């Protein structure tokens, strides 16, 4: 469960609004046995979460396409975590450390490179905590499964096409073109290279630049 959450940067968060489902993709981070979300105090969606509307969080890694010898037996290699429950608002005193936990997950090392958060920025941000009390994980990282022979052509290739997320070359903003790239960007890149790398967990931490 921890690995599936920690390997991800975004989750889809669903709620019921006026009896209908609504879902949004959000950045998140695990903090011990809970996950943290953050958003604008001006967001209707976040205000509903803060008010305690039940939510359902889905985190998915698509790790490959599974080519069986029939379309019916073909599938996907994936890992998914789901969490349901109710969020609580992180109180003002704990907001800054919680936001630093989020930042450290999404952009490791970046907080030390930029100016501190402003009081007005903290005031404009809602930070929510959702416990992992009601959570489950599904790891379908198996290879091809063909339950029984029902007419498949055994000479056809079967196997898995693995997929993963990789980071490319940093793109500097116009006024950053002359300076060196921030170390935190390489830290994120090194970390992301390993994302969704499949069950062997191999990491690629080279810096081609």
> Counting contacts by CB under 8 A, is residue 144 touching a second copy?
yes
> Counting contacts by CB under 8 A, is residue 48 touching a second copy?
no
> Counting contacts by CB under 8 A, is residue 201 touching a second copy?
no
d(CA 204, CA 98): 29
> Counting contacts by CB under 8 A, is residue 167 touching a second copy?
yes
d(CA 3, CA 141): 14
DSSP E strands, 41-117: 55-67, 75-85, 88-89
Binding residues with a second copy: total (CB under 8 A): 86
> Counting contacts by CB under 8 A, is residue 35 touching a second copy?
no
User: What CA dihedral angle connects 98, 119, 112 and 31, to 10 degrees?
Assistant: 0
The nearer residue to a second copy, 13 or 34, going by C-beta atoms, is 13
User: Residue 77: what are its φ and ψ, rounded to 5°?
Assistant: -90, 120
> Counting contacts by CB under 8 A, is residue 157 touching a second copy?
yes
> Counting contacts by CB under 8 A, is residue 207 touching a second copy?
no
The residues in 109-138 that bind a second copy, with binding defined as CB under 8 A, are 110-111, 113-115, 117-118, 121, 125
Of the candidates 29, 30, 69, 90, which one interacts with a second copy according to CB under 8 A? 69
d(CA 87, CA 26): 14
Which residue reads 């490319």 in tokens? 168
The residues in 5-24 that bind a second copy, with binding defined as CB under 8 A, are 9-10, 12, 14-16, 19-24
């Amino acid at each position: 469960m921890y690995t599936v959450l920690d390997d991800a940067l975004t989750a889809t968060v669903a709620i019921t609004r006026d009896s209908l489902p609504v879902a949004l993709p959000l950045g998140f981070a695990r903090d011990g046995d809970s996950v943290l979300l953050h958003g604008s105090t001006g967001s209707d969606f976040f205000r509903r979460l803060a008010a305690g509307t039940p939510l359902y969080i889905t985190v998915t890694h698509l790790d490959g396409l599974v080519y069986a010898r029939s379309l019916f037996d073909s599938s996907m290699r994936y890992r998914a975590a789901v969490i349901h429950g109710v969020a609580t608002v992180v109180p003002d005193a704990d907001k800054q450390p919680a936001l630093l936990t989020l930042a450290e997950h999404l952009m490791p090392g970046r907080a030390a490179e930029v100016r501190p958060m402003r009081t007005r920025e903290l005031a404009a941000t809602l930070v929510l905590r959702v416990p992992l009390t009601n959570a489950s994980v599904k790891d379908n990282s198996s290879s091809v499964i063909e339950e029984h022979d029902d007419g498949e052509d055994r000479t056809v290739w079967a196997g898995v096409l693995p997929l993963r997320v990789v980071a490319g070359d940093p793109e500097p903003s116009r006024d950053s073109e002359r300076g060196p790239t921030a170390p935190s960007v390489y830290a994120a890149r090194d970390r992301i290279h390993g994302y969704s790398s499949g069950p062997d967990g191999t990491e690629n931490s080279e810096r081609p630049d």
